[in-house]
Amino acid sequence: MLLVTSSFVLQLVVLSYNHYTGYVLICSWLEFFTRLTVNTTISAIAGTVIVLFNISCIRYLNRTIPWSHSILKRVATQLSFTIISAILISTLTTFFSNYCIHKYEEDFTEVLIINGIIVVVANVMLMTVLEAWLFFNENRKSSLITGSLKYELNQVKFDVLKSQINPHFMFNSLNVLSGLIRKDTAKAQLFIEDFSSVYRYVAETIERPLVTLKMELEFVESYLYLLKIRHGEMLSYKVDVPEKLMDYNLPPLSLQVIMENAIKHNIINEKASLFIEISADHESLIIKNKLMPKVSIELSTGTGLKNLTKRYAFVCNKFPEFTKSEGYFIANLPLIN
Protein backbone atom coordinates (compact mmCIF):
# COMPACT_ATOMS: atom_id res chain seq x y z
CA MET A 1 0.00 0.00 0.00
CA LEU A 2 2.84 2.37 0.85
CA LEU A 3 4.52 1.59 -2.46
CA VAL A 4 1.32 2.25 -4.45
CA THR A 5 0.74 5.54 -2.61
CA SER A 6 4.33 6.62 -3.21
CA SER A 7 4.04 5.72 -6.91
CA PHE A 8 0.79 7.69 -7.20
CA VAL A 9 2.26 10.80 -5.56
CA LEU A 10 5.45 10.57 -7.64
CA GLN A 11 3.57 10.26 -10.95
CA LEU A 12 1.18 13.04 -9.96
CA VAL A 13 4.13 15.38 -9.38
CA VAL A 14 5.94 14.29 -12.58
CA LEU A 15 2.87 14.67 -14.83
CA SER A 16 1.98 18.06 -13.34
CA TYR A 17 5.56 19.30 -13.70
CA ASN A 18 5.84 18.07 -17.32
CA HIS A 19 2.53 19.68 -18.27
CA TYR A 20 3.16 23.09 -16.71
CA THR A 21 6.72 23.29 -18.07
CA GLY A 22 5.48 22.37 -21.54
CA TYR A 23 7.62 19.23 -21.68
CA VAL A 24 4.55 16.99 -22.14
CA LEU A 25 1.28 18.75 -22.97
CA ILE A 26 -1.86 17.03 -21.70
CA CYS A 27 -4.98 17.98 -23.62
CA SER A 28 -7.74 16.86 -21.24
CA TRP A 29 -8.49 15.63 -17.72
CA LEU A 30 -9.27 12.21 -19.18
CA GLU A 31 -5.79 12.00 -20.69
CA PHE A 32 -4.31 13.20 -17.39
CA PHE A 33 -6.06 10.54 -15.31
CA THR A 34 -5.35 7.86 -17.92
CA ARG A 35 -1.65 8.69 -17.90
CA LEU A 36 -1.70 8.90 -14.08
CA THR A 37 -3.33 5.47 -13.74
CA VAL A 38 -1.06 3.75 -16.25
CA ASN A 39 2.12 5.39 -14.98
CA THR A 40 1.22 4.66 -11.35
CA THR A 41 0.63 0.99 -12.18
CA ILE A 42 3.92 0.67 -14.05
CA SER A 43 5.75 2.60 -11.33
CA ALA A 44 4.27 0.41 -8.58
CA ILE A 45 5.25 -2.80 -10.39
CA ALA A 46 8.74 -1.50 -11.10
CA GLY A 47 9.03 -0.27 -7.52
CA THR A 48 8.03 -3.68 -6.15
CA VAL A 49 10.65 -5.38 -8.31
CA ILE A 50 13.30 -2.87 -7.21
CA VAL A 51 12.43 -3.20 -3.50
CA LEU A 52 12.53 -7.00 -3.62
CA PHE A 53 15.79 -6.94 -5.55
CA ASN A 54 17.33 -4.43 -3.13
CA ILE A 55 16.34 -6.48 -0.07
CA SER A 56 17.78 -9.63 -1.64
CA CYS A 57 20.92 -7.71 -2.58
CA ILE A 58 21.40 -6.39 0.97
CA ARG A 59 20.92 -9.82 2.52
CA TYR A 60 23.31 -11.40 0.02
CA LEU A 61 25.96 -8.75 0.70
CA ASN A 62 25.46 -9.14 4.47
CA ARG A 63 26.52 -12.76 4.05
CA THR A 64 29.34 -12.26 1.53
CA ILE A 65 30.69 -8.77 2.27
CA PRO A 66 29.51 -7.72 5.75
CA TRP A 67 30.09 -4.13 6.86
CA SER A 68 32.54 -5.32 9.51
CA HIS A 69 34.70 -6.96 6.82
CA SER A 70 35.35 -4.00 4.50
CA ILE A 71 33.29 -0.81 4.45
CA LEU A 72 34.84 0.54 1.23
CA LYS A 73 34.33 -2.71 -0.67
CA ARG A 74 30.78 -3.01 0.64
CA VAL A 75 29.85 0.55 -0.39
CA ALA A 76 31.37 0.13 -3.87
CA THR A 77 29.67 -3.22 -4.48
CA GLN A 78 26.29 -2.15 -3.14
CA LEU A 79 26.36 1.13 -5.09
CA SER A 80 27.20 -0.77 -8.29
CA PHE A 81 24.28 -3.16 -7.76
CA THR A 82 22.00 -0.20 -7.04
CA ILE A 83 22.93 1.75 -10.18
CA ILE A 84 22.92 -1.26 -12.53
CA SER A 85 19.55 -2.53 -11.29
CA ALA A 86 18.04 0.97 -11.55
CA ILE A 87 19.26 1.40 -15.15
CA LEU A 88 17.92 -2.03 -16.16
CA ILE A 89 14.51 -1.46 -14.58
CA SER A 90 14.28 2.07 -15.99
CA THR A 91 15.24 0.92 -19.50
CA LEU A 92 12.74 -1.97 -19.49
CA THR A 93 9.83 0.15 -18.22
CA THR A 94 10.62 2.99 -20.63
CA PHE A 95 10.71 0.61 -23.62
CA PHE A 96 7.50 -1.03 -22.43
CA SER A 97 5.72 2.32 -22.05
CA ASN A 98 6.93 3.57 -25.41
CA TYR A 99 6.09 0.52 -27.52
CA CYS A 100 3.17 -1.07 -25.67
CA ILE A 101 1.22 1.77 -24.05
CA HIS A 102 1.86 5.25 -25.43
CA LYS A 103 4.64 6.32 -27.77
CA TYR A 104 6.65 9.22 -26.43
CA GLU A 105 6.37 12.41 -28.48
CA GLU A 106 9.78 13.55 -27.20
CA ASP A 107 13.13 12.20 -28.31
CA PHE A 108 13.22 8.61 -27.02
CA THR A 109 16.95 8.70 -26.15
CA GLU A 110 16.43 11.83 -24.08
CA VAL A 111 13.47 10.24 -22.26
CA LEU A 112 15.53 7.11 -21.67
CA ILE A 113 18.40 9.11 -20.13
CA ILE A 114 16.13 11.31 -17.97
CA ASN A 115 14.14 8.32 -16.69
CA GLY A 116 17.39 6.48 -16.01
CA ILE A 117 18.81 9.35 -13.94
CA ILE A 118 15.56 9.71 -11.96
CA VAL A 119 15.34 5.98 -11.21
CA VAL A 120 19.05 5.75 -10.26
CA VAL A 121 18.74 8.64 -7.77
CA ALA A 122 15.49 7.23 -6.39
CA ASN A 123 16.99 3.75 -6.07
CA VAL A 124 20.07 5.03 -4.22
CA MET A 125 17.76 6.76 -1.74
CA LEU A 126 15.56 3.66 -1.52
CA MET A 127 18.56 1.38 -0.97
CA THR A 128 19.76 3.65 1.86
CA VAL A 129 16.35 3.55 3.53
CA LEU A 130 16.07 -0.23 3.14
CA GLU A 131 19.60 -0.74 4.48
CA ALA A 132 18.77 1.34 7.55
CA TRP A 133 15.42 -0.42 8.05
CA LEU A 134 16.91 -3.92 7.72
CA PHE A 135 19.79 -2.99 10.02
CA PHE A 136 17.38 -1.68 12.66
CA ASN A 137 15.10 -4.70 12.27
CA GLU A 138 17.95 -7.21 12.56
CA ASN A 139 19.35 -5.30 15.51
CA ARG A 140 15.98 -5.39 17.25
CA LYS A 141 15.62 -9.11 16.60
CA SER A 142 19.14 -9.74 17.88
CA SER A 143 18.39 -7.73 21.02
CA LEU A 144 15.19 -9.68 21.63
CA ILE A 145 16.95 -13.01 21.07
CA THR A 146 19.87 -11.97 23.28
CA GLY A 147 17.50 -10.79 26.00
CA SER A 148 15.51 -14.01 25.79
CA LEU A 149 18.67 -16.13 25.94
CA LYS A 150 19.99 -14.16 28.91
CA TYR A 151 16.69 -14.61 30.72
CA GLU A 152 16.68 -18.35 30.01
CA LEU A 153 20.32 -18.65 31.07
CA ASN A 154 19.64 -16.79 34.32
CA GLN A 155 16.57 -18.93 34.92
CA VAL A 156 18.61 -22.10 34.41
CA LYS A 157 21.33 -20.83 36.74
CA PHE A 158 18.72 -19.86 39.31
CA ASP A 159 17.12 -23.31 39.08
CA VAL A 160 20.54 -24.92 39.56
CA LEU A 161 21.18 -22.82 42.65
CA LYS A 162 17.77 -23.71 44.06
CA SER A 163 18.35 -27.39 43.40
CA GLN A 164 21.60 -27.12 45.39
CA ILE A 165 19.75 -25.63 48.36
CA ASN A 166 16.91 -28.11 48.44
CA PRO A 167 18.80 -31.44 48.87
CA HIS A 168 21.41 -29.76 51.08
CA PHE A 169 18.75 -28.64 53.54
CA MET A 170 17.12 -32.08 53.59
CA PHE A 171 20.46 -33.85 54.08
CA ASN A 172 21.36 -31.73 57.13
CA SER A 173 17.88 -32.13 58.63
CA LEU A 174 17.98 -35.91 58.21
CA ASN A 175 21.37 -35.95 59.93
CA VAL A 176 19.78 -34.19 62.91
CA LEU A 177 16.91 -36.69 62.91
CA SER A 178 19.34 -39.61 62.71
CA GLY A 179 21.11 -38.40 65.84
CA LEU A 180 17.84 -37.93 67.73
CA ILE A 181 16.51 -41.40 66.91
CA ARG A 182 19.50 -42.94 68.67
CA LYS A 183 19.23 -40.66 71.71
CA ASP A 184 15.61 -39.59 72.27
CA THR A 185 12.68 -41.10 70.35
CA ALA A 186 10.18 -38.64 71.83
CA LYS A 187 12.15 -35.68 70.54
CA ALA A 188 12.61 -37.50 67.25
CA GLN A 189 8.83 -37.75 66.85
CA LEU A 190 8.42 -34.05 67.64
CA PHE A 191 11.21 -33.25 65.19
CA ILE A 192 9.45 -35.20 62.42
CA GLU A 193 6.22 -33.24 62.93
CA ASP A 194 7.97 -29.87 62.84
CA PHE A 195 10.24 -30.94 60.02
CA SER A 196 7.24 -31.69 57.80
CA SER A 197 5.98 -28.16 58.43
CA VAL A 198 9.38 -26.63 57.69
CA TYR A 199 9.91 -28.70 54.57
CA ARG A 200 6.46 -27.72 53.31
CA TYR A 201 7.66 -24.11 53.39
CA VAL A 202 10.76 -25.12 51.45
CA ALA A 203 8.66 -26.92 48.83
CA GLU A 204 6.23 -24.00 48.48
CA THR A 205 8.80 -21.20 48.26
CA ILE A 206 11.72 -22.80 46.44
CA GLU A 207 10.15 -21.88 43.06
CA ARG A 208 9.75 -18.24 44.07
CA PRO A 209 12.51 -15.72 43.46
CA LEU A 210 11.38 -13.71 46.51
CA VAL A 211 9.35 -14.12 49.72
CA THR A 212 8.29 -11.59 52.34
CA LEU A 213 10.44 -11.04 55.40
CA LYS A 214 7.49 -12.06 57.57
CA MET A 215 7.30 -15.48 55.88
CA GLU A 216 11.06 -15.96 56.13
CA LEU A 217 11.16 -15.07 59.84
CA GLU A 218 8.28 -17.44 60.60
CA PHE A 219 10.15 -20.16 58.77
CA VAL A 220 13.49 -19.52 60.47
CA GLU A 221 11.89 -19.64 63.91
CA SER A 222 10.53 -23.09 63.07
CA TYR A 223 13.90 -24.08 61.65
CA LEU A 224 15.77 -22.90 64.75
CA TYR A 225 13.24 -24.70 66.92
CA LEU A 226 14.16 -27.94 65.15
CA LEU A 227 17.83 -27.22 65.81
CA LYS A 228 17.08 -26.50 69.47
CA ILE A 229 15.56 -29.97 69.79
CA ARG A 230 19.03 -31.31 69.12
CA HIS A 231 21.17 -28.67 70.82
CA GLY A 232 18.86 -27.66 73.67
CA GLU A 233 19.85 -24.59 75.65
CA MET A 234 23.25 -24.58 73.96
CA LEU A 235 21.57 -22.79 71.06
CA SER A 236 19.55 -19.62 71.52
CA TYR A 237 18.41 -16.74 69.35
CA LYS A 238 16.70 -13.37 69.42
CA VAL A 239 14.62 -11.72 66.70
CA ASP A 240 14.13 -7.95 66.86
CA VAL A 241 12.82 -6.64 63.54
CA PRO A 242 10.39 -3.68 63.16
CA GLU A 243 6.91 -4.56 61.96
CA LYS A 244 7.15 -1.95 59.17
CA LEU A 245 9.76 -4.10 57.37
CA MET A 246 7.69 -7.29 57.32
CA ASP A 247 6.38 -6.67 53.79
CA TYR A 248 9.89 -6.29 52.36
CA ASN A 249 11.30 -9.19 50.35
CA LEU A 250 14.38 -11.39 50.13
CA PRO A 251 15.28 -14.68 48.41
CA PRO A 252 13.67 -17.72 50.11
CA LEU A 253 15.80 -19.67 52.61
CA SER A 254 18.28 -16.79 52.90
CA LEU A 255 18.18 -16.97 56.69
CA GLN A 256 18.45 -20.76 56.64
CA VAL A 257 21.76 -20.42 54.77
CA ILE A 258 23.09 -18.04 57.46
CA MET A 259 21.83 -20.26 60.30
CA GLU A 260 23.36 -23.33 58.70
CA ASN A 261 26.66 -21.50 58.28
CA ALA A 262 26.70 -20.51 61.97
CA ILE A 263 25.90 -24.06 63.15
CA LYS A 264 28.47 -25.62 60.83
CA HIS A 265 31.44 -23.43 61.69
CA ASN A 266 31.04 -22.78 65.42
CA ILE A 267 31.41 -24.83 68.60
CA ILE A 268 28.13 -25.67 70.33
CA ASN A 269 28.39 -27.39 73.72
CA GLU A 270 27.67 -26.87 77.42
CA LYS A 271 30.70 -24.61 77.80
CA ALA A 272 30.21 -22.62 74.61
CA SER A 273 26.60 -21.92 73.67
CA LEU A 274 25.76 -20.26 70.36
CA PHE A 275 23.62 -17.13 70.39
CA ILE A 276 22.24 -15.81 67.09
CA GLU A 277 20.78 -12.31 66.92
CA ILE A 278 18.53 -11.17 64.07
CA SER A 279 17.89 -7.43 63.82
CA ALA A 280 17.34 -4.75 61.19
CA ASP A 281 19.15 -1.60 60.12
CA HIS A 282 17.17 0.66 57.79
CA GLU A 283 16.44 -1.66 54.83
CA SER A 284 18.84 -4.46 55.72
CA LEU A 285 18.57 -7.54 57.87
CA ILE A 286 21.48 -8.08 60.26
CA ILE A 287 22.32 -11.59 61.47
CA LYS A 288 25.05 -11.72 64.08
CA ASN A 289 26.73 -14.52 66.05
CA LYS A 290 29.84 -14.76 68.19
CA LEU A 291 32.75 -16.48 66.48
CA MET A 292 33.67 -19.71 68.22
CA PRO A 293 35.32 -21.63 65.38
CA LYS A 294 35.64 -25.38 65.61
CA VAL A 295 39.20 -26.61 66.11
CA SER A 296 39.05 -29.46 63.63
CA ILE A 297 36.91 -28.10 60.86
CA GLU A 298 36.87 -29.28 57.29
CA LEU A 299 38.02 -26.83 54.66
CA SER A 300 35.11 -24.51 53.90
CA THR A 301 34.28 -23.75 50.28
CA GLY A 302 31.78 -21.04 51.17
CA THR A 303 29.32 -22.49 48.65
CA GLY A 304 26.21 -21.55 50.65
CA LEU A 305 27.13 -17.88 51.02
CA LYS A 306 28.32 -17.66 47.40
CA ASN A 307 25.05 -19.13 46.16
CA LEU A 308 23.08 -16.68 48.29
CA THR A 309 25.01 -13.80 46.71
CA LYS A 310 24.27 -15.16 43.23
CA ARG A 311 20.57 -15.51 44.04
CA TYR A 312 20.48 -11.85 45.05
CA ALA A 313 22.13 -10.95 41.74
CA PHE A 314 19.26 -12.60 39.84
CA VAL A 315 16.56 -10.49 41.50
CA CYS A 316 18.15 -7.10 42.26
CA ASN A 317 21.34 -5.05 42.12
CA LYS A 318 21.96 -5.34 45.85
CA PHE A 319 24.31 -7.88 47.38
CA PRO A 320 24.66 -9.40 50.86
CA GLU A 321 27.76 -8.60 52.88
CA PHE A 322 29.56 -11.01 55.21
CA THR A 323 32.11 -9.63 57.66
CA LYS A 324 34.04 -10.63 60.77
CA SER A 325 34.40 -7.85 63.32
CA GLU A 326 35.41 -7.81 67.00
CA GLY A 327 34.94 -11.54 67.40
CA TYR A 328 31.57 -11.65 65.62
CA PHE A 329 30.40 -12.94 62.26
CA ILE A 330 27.93 -10.47 60.76
CA ALA A 331 25.71 -11.09 57.74
CA ASN A 332 24.01 -8.08 56.18
CA LEU A 333 21.11 -9.08 53.90
CA PRO A 334 19.53 -6.28 51.82
CA LEU A 335 15.74 -6.14 51.94
CA ILE A 336 13.99 -5.60 48.61
CA ASN A 337 11.07 -3.19 48.60
Per-residue pLDDT band for 88 (boundaries 50, 70, 90) equals confident
**Do residue 102 and residue 40 come from a single domain?**
yes
173 in any annotated domain: no
Position 164 pLDDT exceeds 70: no
**Do residue 220 and residue 290 come from a single domain?**
yes
What is the average per-residue pLDDT within 311-320? 89
Q: Domain boundary residue among 117, 145, 173?
A: 145
**Do residue 220 and residue 326 come from a single domain?**
yes
**Do residue 204 and residue 105 come from a single domain?**
no
**Do residue 234 and residue 321 come from a single domain?**
yes
53 in any annotated domain: yes
268 in any annotated domain: yes
What is the average per-residue pLDDT within 158-183? 68
**Do residue 189 and residue 330 come from a single domain?**
yes
Dihedral of the CA atoms 310, 314, 317, 322 (nearest 10)?
-20
Question: What is the pLDDT at residue 276?
Answer: 93
Distance, in Å, from the CA atom of 115 to the CA atom of 113, rounded to the nearest integer, reads 6
Residue 324: partners with Cβ closer than 8 Å, 6 or more residues away: 291, 330
171 in any annotated domain: no
**Do residue 22 and residue 139 come from a single domain?**
yes
Question: What is the pLDDT at residue 3?
Answer: 59
179 in any annotated domain: no
**Do residue 204 and residue 133 come from a single domain?**
no
As for how many domains the chain has, the answer is: 2
25 in any annotated domain: yes
Position 274 pLDDT exceeds 80: yes
Position 287 pLDDT exceeds 90: yes
Burial level of 313, CB count in 10 A (0-12/13-18/19+)?
A: middle
Helix residue spans in 206-321 (DSSP H): 213-231, 254-265, 303-315
Per-residue pLDDT band for 17 (boundaries 50, 70, 90) equals low
Q: Are 313 and 334 in contact (CB under 8 A)?
A: no
**Do residue 202 and residue 323 come from a single domain?**
yes
Q: Indicate which CATH number applies to the domain containing 321.
A: 3.30.565.10
**Do residue 48 and residue 133 come from a single domain?**
yes
Question: What is the pLDDT at residue 247?
Answer: 94
Distance, in Å, from the CA atom of 299 to the CA atom of 184, rounded to the nearest integer, reads 31
**Do residue 204 and residue 306 come from a single domain?**
yes
What is the average per-residue pLDDT within 50-77? 86
**Do residue 7 and residue 77 come from a single domain?**
yes
Position 300 pLDDT exceeds 70: no
Question: What is the pLDDT at residue 11?
Answer: 63
Of 127 and 186, the structure prediction assigns the larger pLDDT to 127
Position 19 pLDDT exceeds 90: no
157 in any annotated domain: no
Of the listed ranges 124-128, 217-221, 230-234, 275-279, the one predicted with least confidence: 230-234
**Structural domain harbouring 315:** 184-334
What is the average per-residue pLDDT within 45-57? 82
The helix or strand, by DSSP H or E, that contains position 41, with its residue range, turns out to be helix 29-64
Distance, in Å, from the CA atom of 84 to the CA atom of 124, rounded to the nearest integer, reads 11
Position 187 pLDDT exceeds 80: no
What is the average per-residue pLDDT within 204-209? 83
17 in any annotated domain: yes
Q: Across the beta sheet with 284-290, what order do the strands follow?
A: 235-240, 274-281, 284-290, 328-334, 321-325
